[in-house]
Amino acid sequence: MDFLDELKQSFFQECEELLAALEARLQALDEGSTDPEDVNAAFRAIHSVKGGAGAFGFADLVNFAHAFEASLDHLRTGRVPVQEAPTGLFLRCSDAVADLVAAARNGEPANKRADLIAELERVGQVLETPAKTEQKAPELTAIFDKLIAQVASGTVPGAAPEPVSAPAEETPWNPDDDPFENPRPAPAVAPPAASAAARPAQGTVVRIRPHRDLFRRGIDPRVLLRSLEAIGPLTITADVAAVPSLQELDVGDCCLQFDVAFEGAVPREAIANALDMFLDAQEFSVGGPEGGMAPSGAAPVGAAAPGGAPEVPASLAASLAAIAASAEASMATRNDAEGAAAPAAAGMPARAANDAGQPQRGGAPAGRAKQVGSIRVDLDRIDRLMNLVGEIVITQSMLAERARMLTIDEGTKLADGILTLTRQTRELQDHVMAVRAQPVKTVFQRMPRLVRELAQTLGKEARLVLSGENTEVDKTVIEELADPLTHMIRNSMDHGLETAAERTANGKPAEGVIHLSAEHRAGRIVISVADDGRGINREKLLAKARSKGLVAPDARPSPQEIDEIIFAPGLSTADKVTDVSGRGVGMDVVRRNVEALGGRITVDSDPGRGCRFTMSLPLTLAVLDGMIVRSAGERFVVPITSIVETLRLSDDTVEHLPSGQEVLRWRNDVVPVARLGAIMTDSPPSDETVIIIAETDRGDRIGIAVDDILGQQQVVVKSLETNYGRVTGASAATILGDGLVALILDVDTMPRLAAQQRRPLVEAMTVNKR
C-alpha cells in the first residue's frame, strides 16, 4: 500500500467515526434536543468529512457535504430555530453521506443525490420566513405569549451576570413566592449576606440547564432549588428563552433553565452535593467565586441553612474545613467562572498548577477538559497481550498449588508473594480488558438507519429506541454482534411489527416501537430486541414445523417450546419471500453465531403484544472467576457470577416431586436440585451434601449438588469446541494449577439437565474431534 492509499484508508476510518458522531447528534436533535453543542458537533463532523473528501478529490462527496453543511449552518447561526430543524431530512442526508463515503471507498460510481441536495437548499429559504401557523386557538397562543413576555420583562438588571448569547429574558423567581407552595418558614438570612445582596455578582453562580426529561423523572424544579437554598441565601432567575411557542410546547418537557446567584461565595462541594444526586454533571455548572475565595468573606455552609430543613448545623470547625477544602477544588473551575471570578483568581497565580489535577465536575462549556490524546493500536497486539495475561493466570495458580506442598514456614513466605502476584495479575488483566472494551454504541448506532430504511421498504411505521448503548464489552464480542443484531431487527421489522393499518385496527398506535437495549448482568452482557408487534403466531409456527418434520405429529410442545422453534434451521413463516428477511437465512443462523461466542439467545413472545429476543454474551472470551467444586471425583468450575449462595444440605430440606425431580426448599422458594455427579459423569446419583444455589440468565434458580467446594480462583477459558467437541452441561474448559483440565459448567443448561438427569457426558465423549 502506498502512502496515499494509507492516508485514504485512515480518512475512511475517520469518516466512520465522524458519521457515527453526526448521526448521534442528529438523532439527539430529532428527539427534541436544543443543545447548541449538538448542532455544532454535527456541523463539525460534516465539515471534516468535506475537508478530507476535498483532499482526495471525491467530488460527489464534497458537493453533497457542502450542501449539507450549508444547511446545518442555518441552525448554527440561528436563522433556522433548532426546534424547527428538519431532522428527518438531516438523518436521511447522513445516510446518503455514508453511502457516498462507501462508494468512494470502493471506487464505485455514486448516486449524487441531487434530490436531497435540492431539499437541503430549500431548508434556509422555507424556514427563513417563519410561517404563521396559529390556526388553532389563537387566543390561547396569545395568552401564552403574553405570559412568557411578562415573565421575560420582569428582569431585574444585574440580578445575575448575563451570558452574551442569551437575551435578557430572565426574571427573579423565588420558591417561597410560589402560590402553589404551602407556607414554610422563611430562610434565615446569613449575617455576611447583607452587603452581598447589593452586589450579587460577587457570589457564586450556579447555572442549571436541565435535560428536557426533568419532569418525567419526577423532579420538581423546586426540589432542586430548595436544596440550594439550604446552602445559603440566594436569588433565583428563571430563563424562559428555551420555552417554545404554545403549539410546540410539550407540557411533559422541561424547557426552563435557572440561574442561581448566591449572595456570598459558597463551596463547590456543597453545591455538587446538593445537585449531584438529581442531575448529570452536564446539567449544572458553577461559576463565580467560591467559598474561601471571595474577598468579602465566605458564607459558612452550615450557618446559612434555613430553619425549614432538618439539617444538623455544621460546627464552626467543620465549616472551616469545608471552606479550606473548597479553596483547593475551586481552582479547577476558574476558567469557567462567569466573568465575576476575575478578582479572586488573579491573586493566586501560583495555584494554577492545581488545575490539571482536579477532576472537572461542573462541565461548563468554557471549562471543557482538554482532549485526551489517543493512539491507534493493532488489535493483534492487544490480543497477544490478552493471551499472555491468560497464561500468567495459569502460571500463578500453578505456583499457588506448588506453594501448598512446601513446609508451613516456607509456604507462608511464598504465599505472601503469590498473593501480591494474584492482585497484580488481576489488575493487569482489568487494564488489558479495559483497552479492549468498547461501548456497544458502535454497533447500535448502525441500527437506526436500518430501521428507517426497512420502514420505508416495508411501508411500516417504526421507531427504534436505544438504551444502554454505553455498556462496554470486549471488542471481539462487539464485532460479532453486528450480524445477529441486524438479523434480529430485520426479523422484528418484517415479522414482528404489523402494518400501520393493522395496528390501528387492533387499537395500537400506528407507529411500532422496537426497543434495543444492552445491560451488564451477572458478568455477561445482555442485549435484547423487543418489539410491540403481533408476537409469534404459535399455531402457524407449529403447523409449519410439523409440515417440515421438525416436530413429531403427536408431540404437544409447550408455548415456550413452540416459540423456540423459531431458531430451528430451515424455517420461514413469512407468507411470501420478502426483500427483507426472506433470504434463506433465519434465526437459526443468529443462534449459531451467538452460541459460537459462548452466548445464548432466547425468545419471549406475548401474542398480540410483542416479542422479545434476548441474547446474553460473555463480557470477555478469556478469563472468568470460578468456584472449583468436586463431584464424583472430578473437578468442575462454576462461574462465580452465577452463584447466589452456597449451603450444606440436610435431609429434611430436600423433597421429591412425583416426576422424581428433587427440589430444595430455600428461602421460601422451591429450587430444583441438579446432582452434578450424575449429570456430568456416569456415576450413580450419590448423596452430595453441598448445594450451590446458582442463577441462570433467565433468572431461574437451580441448586447444584456437589461433594465439596475446593476453592475459588480465576480460570482461563479454553474453548471446548475448537479443542475437543461440544459437551452438554459445560460451556468451556480450563486448565487448573496442577495442569489438569476441568470443565466450566454452563449453569443455564442445568435446570434442563436436572429435569432429565441423563448422562450427557458419555454421549459427548463419542464426539471426539481430536
Partner 1 sequence: MKILAIDDTKTLRDLLCMTLRSAGHDVVEAENGEEGLARFQEAKPDVVITDLNMPILNGIEFTRECRARPGGEQTPIIILTTENGPDAKAEGRRAGATAWMVKPFEPTTLLALLERFKN
Measured from the CB atom, the residue of 223 and 348 that comes closer to partner 1 is: 223
Helix (H) or strand (E) holding 663: strand 662-666
Helix (H) or strand (E) holding 183: none
Shortest distance (Å) from residue 682 CB to partner 1: 35
Shortest distance (Å) from residue 407 CB to partner 1: 42
| Count of other CB atoms within 10 angstroms of residue 577 | 11
Shortest distance (Å) from residue 334 CB to partner 1: 24
Measured from the CB atom, the residue of 515 and 718 that comes closer to partner 1 is: 515
**Percent helix, strand, coil in the chain (nearest 5)?**
45, 20, 35
Quick check: 340 and 287 in contact, CB under 8 A?
yes
**H helix and E strand count, the chain:** 25, 23
- Judged by DSSP in three states, 339 sits in coil
Task: Choose the stretch contacting partner 1; rule: CB under 8 A; options: 18-26, 81-89, 305-313, 685-693.
Answer: 305-313
Crossing angle of helices 87-106/3-30, nearest 10°?
A: 170
Nine-digit cell at 230? 439550604
Shortest distance (Å) from residue 312 CB to partner 1: 5
- Residue 68: phi and psi, rounded to 5, are -65, -45
Measured from the CB atom, the residue of 219 and 710 that comes closer to partner 1 is: 219
Shortest distance (Å) from residue 369 CB to partner 1: 14
Q: How far is it, in rounded angstroms, from Cα 505 to Cα 491?
A: 22
Measured from the CB atom, the residue of 15 and 440 that comes closer to partner 1 is: 440
Query: Which of 102, 127, 197, 230: binder of partner 1 (CB under 8 A)?
Result: 230
Crossing angle of helices 268-276/316-330, nearest 10°?
A: 90
| Count of other CB atoms within 10 angstroms of residue 637 | 26
Binding to partner 1 by CB under 8 A, coded x per residue (else -) over 182-221, reads: x------------------------------x-xxxxxx-
| Count of other CB atoms within 10 angstroms of residue 202 | 22
- List the 512-521 sheet strands across, edge first: 462-467, 512-521, 524-531, 610-618, 600-606
- Judged by DSSP in three states, 130 sits in coil
Q: Give the residue from 595, 633, 529 showing the smallest Cα distance to 749.
A: 595
Measured from the CB atom, the residue of 208 and 545 that comes closer to partner 1 is: 208
- Residue 613: phi and psi, rounded to 5, are -100, 130
Shortest distance (Å) from residue 289 CB to partner 1: 26
- List the 662-666 sheet strands across, edge first: 643-648, 690-695, 701-706, 669-675, 662-666, 654-656
Task: Choose the stretch contacting partner 1; rule: CB under 8 A; options: 277-285, 366-374, 612-620, 647-655.
Answer: 277-285
Shortest distance (Å) from residue 294 CB to partner 1: 26
Shortest distance (Å) from residue 63 CB to partner 1: 39
- Residue 714: phi and psi, rounded to 5, are -80, 140
Nine-digit cell at 473? 464489552
Helix (H) or strand (E) holding 328: helix 316-330
**Does position 666 bind partner 1 by CB under 8 A?**
no
Measured from the CB atom, the residue of 129 and 182 that comes closer to partner 1 is: 182
Query: Which of 157, 179, 310, 549: binder of partner 1 (CB under 8 A)?
Result: 310
What residues numbered 438-497 form the site for partner 1, per CB under 8 A? Answer: 467-468, 470-471
Shortest distance (Å) from residue 634 CB to partner 1: 30
Query: Which of 179, 373, 549, 699: binder of partner 1 (CB under 8 A)?
Result: 699
Query: Which of 186, 309, 377, 406: binder of partner 1 (CB under 8 A)?
Result: 309
Query: Which of 25, 92, 207, 226: binder of partner 1 (CB under 8 A)?
Result: 226
What residues numbered 594-653 form the site for partner 1, per CB under 8 A? Answer: none
Query: Which of 114, 168, 223, 552: binder of partner 1 (CB under 8 A)?
Result: 223
Quick check: 606 and 615 in contact, CB under 8 A?
no
What residues numbered 121-180 form the site for partner 1, per CB under 8 A? Answer: none
| Count of other CB atoms within 10 angstroms of residue 687 | 11
Nine-digit cell at 248? 410546540
Q: Which residues are registered as beta bridge partners of 515?
A: 465, 530
Query: Which of 131, 164, 251, 277: binder of partner 1 (CB under 8 A)?
Result: 277
Binding to partner 1 by CB under 8 A, coded x per residue (else -) over 496-535, reads: -----------------------x----------------
Show the 3-state SS of 502-571. Answer: HHHHCCCCCCEEEEEEEEEECCEEEEEEEECCCCCCHHHHHHHHHHCCCCCCCCCCCHHHHHHHHHCCCC
Measured from the CB atom, the residue of 564 and 695 that comes closer to partner 1 is: 695
Measured from the CB atom, the residue of 463 and 718 that comes closer to partner 1 is: 463
Task: Choose the stretch contacting partner 1; rule: CB under 8 A; options: 193-201, 224-232, 295-303, 349-357.
Answer: 224-232
* Per rule CB under 8 A, count of chain residues that contact partner 1: 28
**Which chain residues interact with partner 1 by CB under 8 A?**
182, 213, 215-220, 223, 226-227, 230, 276-278, 280, 308-312, 467-468, 470-471, 519, 695, 699
